[in-house]
Structure 1
Amino acid sequence: MKTLKKYLSIMHLGIKSGLVFRANYLIKLATQALSLLVTLWMWQWIGDGQKSDLSSISQYLIITNLLSLLFSISPAFSLANLIKSGKLSFYLTRPVSLYGHLYLQFLGGQLPLLAVYLVAVLAMHLSAGIILSLFLYVLVASIMFFNLMMITGSLAFWLINLWPLRSGLYAIYLLLGGLYFPLKMLGSQIYAWLKYNPFSLVTDIPANIAIAKVDQLQSYYLSAVVWTIVFYLGYRLIYAKGQKKYEGVGV
C-alpha cells in the first residue's frame, strides 16, 4: 500500500506540474494547430477540389497530429537532461524506480491532453466497443513508446550535444508517424511493413481505426507488445552500460 501511495503521489505531482504550466499546453496546441493548418492548406492545393479525398485526409491528419501531442518525445529528454546535469544521482539514491518515476510523472502531465483526445474520439460517434479498444490500445502503445524514448534518452551517457538527436527524432516521427500524409499513400506493399513501425503504431494505426471504424486490433496489439518488450530490454541494457560511464557531473 505504501508503494502504491508513493507512486500515485508521483503521478499527482505530474498532473499538478502540467496544470501549473498550462501555458505550455496552450503554446503546444497553438503551434501544432498552426502546423496542421499549413499541412491541410497544402493538401487542399494538391487535391485541387477533390472534397471527398480532402475530407478523409483532413480527419486523418487531425487525429495523427493530436496523437503526436499525447505520445510526446519529451520523456527522452527528461532522462537525458538528468544525465547531463548530474541530477540523475539524486534519483539513484531514492527508494523509487527511475523508470516508474519518469513514466508516471509523464503520464500525469499528459492527462489534460488525454482528456482532449477522448473528447475528440467521442465526437466521432464511434461504437462503445471501438472506443474501449482504442483506449486499451493507446495504453499499451504509450508504454511501448515510452520505452523507446527511454532508449533514446539513455544515449545521453555518450552524446555531448542533444539538439541533433531531438531534431532527428522529430523528423522521423513526422515521416513514419503519418503527420504529413497518410502512410497508405506509399502503396500497399510498403505500407504492409511500415504500419508496424513504432511511430506508426502510436499515430497512424489509431487514426485509421477511428476513421475506418476497424475493430481488428490483434496484430497491432501483438506488434505493440513485442516492441514494448524489445525496447524495455534494450533500455535496461543501454542504461546499465551507461551507468558505468556516469560520473554525476554537475552535482
Structure 2
Amino acid sequence: MKRFFRKALTLLSVYYAYMLEYRAELILWVLSNSLPIILMGVWIQAAQGGRFNLSPVDFARYFLAVFIVRQITVVWVVWEFEREIVEGKLSPRLLQPIDPVWHHIAAHVSERSARFPFTLFLLVVFFLLYPQAFWVPSFTKIFLFLLASVLAFVLRFIMQYSFAMLAFWTERASAVENFWFLFYLFLSGMIAPIEVFPESVRAIVLCTPFPYMVDFPASILVGLPVDLARGFLSMVGWILVFLGLNRLLWRRGLKRYSGMGA
C-alpha cells in the first residue's frame, strides 16, 4: 500500500508539472466547456413566461452547476490512447510495472487541479454579474454533489476508455466516441434539465447512463428533486458494466496488439 501511494504521488506530481506548462491552453479548455453558461441565458428567457416548473433563478443555478460538473468530468482519454496505439507509444508503457491506464488517470486528476483557479475565477465573475443566483448549499448537498461528480467522472472515464480499446481494431476509435457524444449532449442534462423533459421521455432517459453524468450531480447541488438511491445505484451499476467491458476488450486487444509485432 505504501508503494502504491508513493507511485501515485509521483505520477500526480509529474503530470501536474506537465499541465502547468500549458496554462494558456488550460484557459481555453475551461472556456470550451462554457456551453452551459450560454444555454443558461436561453432557458432564463424561456422561463420568464412561467411555462416551466423552474424559475429563471433555478435555471441559472442549474446551468452553473452543470458548468462545474463539466469541469470535473471532462475526459479525453480516447484520443490519447488512440494516438498511443497508432504511433506505437503503448509498447514502452507495457514494459512498465503499472497498468498504462494509471498514466491517463494521473493526467486527468492533475489537470483538474491545474484548471481549478481558472474555474473559481469564472464562478466569481458569474456571481458578480448575476448576484440573484448566489446561494450557499448545505454541507450535505455539497458532499453528495462531490460524491456524485466523482462517480460521474469515473463513469465517463471508463466509458470513454472502453471505446478507446477499439483502437486495437481500428485507427478511428474516436469516431465512436464522437457519435456517442451526441447522445451524451442531449440526454445528459447539458442542453436542458431532465426535470423539463416529458414524463414518458424522462422515464426512458433515466434508464440510460447519460443523466447520471451531468443532471444528477447538478440537481443535487441546486436542490432539484432527485432519487438519490436510484441515482447512486445506477452510477455504480453502469460503472461495473463498462469496467467489465473495458477489461474484456483490453485483454483481447492486447493479444491482437502483440500479434501485430509491437
* TM-score category (smaller protein): 0.7 to 0.9
Partner Cα separation in structure 2 for residue 216 and residue 114 of structure 1: 29
Correspondence for 1:170 among 154, 175, 181: 181
CA offset digits 1:70-115 (Å, max 9, x no partner): 2113022222221122111111000112223322221121224457
CA offset digits 1:186-214 (Å, max 9, x no partner): 22232234235323112100111111266
Letter of the 1:56 partner, please give it.
Answer: D
Residues 90 and 160 (structure 1), Cα distance of their counterparts in 2 relative to 1, 3 Å cut:
same
Counterparts of 1:26-105 in structure 2, within 5 Å, are: 26-33=27-34, 35-44=35-44, 46-47=46-47, 50=50, 53-105=55-107
TM-score, length of structure 1 as denominator length: 0.84
Q: Give the aligned partner of residue 128 of structure 2.
A: none
Correspondence for 1:134 among 130, 133, 145: 145
Q: What number of residue pairs does the alignment pair up?
A: 250
TM-score, length of structure 2 as denominator length: 0.81
Gaps of 5+ in 2: 124-133
RMSD, matched Cα: 3.1
Counterparts of 1:159-238 in structure 2, within 5 Å, are: 159-162=170-173, 164-212=175-223, 217-238=228-249
Partner Cα separation in structure 2 for residue 112 and residue 223 of structure 1: 30
Partner Cα separation in structure 1 for residue 156 and residue 174 of structure 2: 20
Residues 248 and 74 (structure 1), Cα distance of their counterparts in 2 relative to 1, 3 Å cut:
farther
Q: Verify: 1:147 aligned to 2:158, yes or no.
A: yes
Residues 164 and 177 (structure 1), Cα distance of their counterparts in 2 relative to 1, 3 Å cut:
same
Q: Which structure ranks higher in relative contact order (CA pairs < 8 Å, sequence separation ≥ 6)?
A: 1
Q: Tell me, what secondary structure is at the counterpart of 1:235? A: helix
Letter of the 1:27 partner, please give it.
Answer: L
Gaps of 5+ in 1: none
Partner Cα separation in structure 2 for residue 242 and residue 173 of structure 1: 26
